[in-house]
Amino acid sequence: MTILVIAEHDNKVVAPATLNTVAAAAKIGGDIHVLVAGQNVDAVAEAAAKIAGVAKVRVADNGAYAHQLPENVAPLVAELGAGYSHILAAATSNGKNILPRVAAALDVDQISEIISVESADTFKRPIYAGNAIATVQSNASVKVITVRATGFDPVAAEGGSAAVEAVAAAHDAGTSSFVGEELAKSDRPELTAAKIVVSGGRGMQNGDNFKHLYALADKLGAAVGASRAAVDAGFVPNDMQVGQTGKIVAPQLYIAVGISGAIQHLAGMKDSKVIVAINKDEEAPIFQVADYGLVADLFEAVPALQQAL
């Protein structure tokens, strides 16, 4: 068995989710190869070669792969991946965008967002917004799988010494082109990788009030998230959304402030080690999953909490 892991990167650095994906591959067992597809990705390939447990890094350096357009990357992965037992990618927006296209090209069903490896062909994944866990078995010749990063502890980013090999295959479908991107700037830790997450909901009342959460987060070295209500109300940008349709997080500590705790929000954070809820409504469903609940006005409790730390 040889497993192909698609590296998640921005042409400069390897994203942390790649380390969790390699960890899932290690649980399956067998040799692990990492594919780095992009443009001017020498630094990414070098970093990928150092990841613990990786046997080989295959590099497809081509302008057609610069922005990870699925029309171009998926045929590459399908062509290379046909000889592997498993193809794994992180369940990030790139992984979710590209991998089903690979699976269809290989004429196999895909398994999305696995949270555990039971055996080489059997995996667990959440369904119904995390309200049920399905055990799925695949008899496909190539098993195509996306990995929920929070389900696996990352492997070490250093310590490996894999061989790096260039891949000649170039695919340019010509059906799509990159126009531009607007990335939100933040100095705080990345939401999905943070050890502590402080999230605000509709109870924050406006975007300006998020400054209380930012101040608390900076004291804790935490990332700041939000519920869909806060995003839809325009308080914060949508890449901060935690939930079924946003980001899935599982930090050591999740502090939910002014969040009622709808099913869709819980789907994104209920695997956090410790959950704290601060809400003035003591009937709010968030208290049913919170390890520590504080019924209080957040505009008093959050500054007080910041003071007390």
Does residue 97 touch other proteins according to CB under 8 A? yes
Q: How far apart are CA 47 and CA 161, in angstroms?
A: 10
Q: Is the dihedral of CA 266, 269, 273, 276 positive or negative?
A: negative
Contacts of 106 (CB under 8 A, 6+ apart): 78, 81, 82, 140, 142, 144
**Residue 61 C-beta: closest distance to other proteins, Å:** 21
28, 77, 113, 204: which one binds other proteins (CB under 8 A): 113
**Residue 138 C-beta: closest distance to other proteins, Å:** 5
Stretch that binds other proteins, among 38-46, 51-59, 176-184, 198-206 (CB under 8 A): 176-184
Residues 5-44 that bind other proteins (CB under 8 A): none
SS3 string, 229-245, reads HHHHCCCCCHHHEECCC
13, 42, 63, 134: which one binds other proteins (CB under 8 A): 134
Cα distances from 116 to residues 134, 138, 153, 191, in angstroms, run 11, 14, 11, 21
Does residue 291 touch other proteins according to CB under 8 A? yes
| Binding-site size, other proteins (CB under 8 A) | 89
Q: Contact, 251 vs 226, CB < 8 A? A: no
Does residue 140 touch other proteins according to CB under 8 A? yes
> Using CB under 8 A as the criterion, what x/- string covers residues 53-82 for binding other proteins?
--------------x-xxx--x--------
Q: How far apart are CA 26 and CA 141, in angstroms?
A: 19
Does residue 287 touch other proteins according to CB under 8 A? yes
Residues 227-266 that bind other proteins (CB under 8 A): 228, 231-232, 237-239, 244-245, 247, 252-253, 263-264
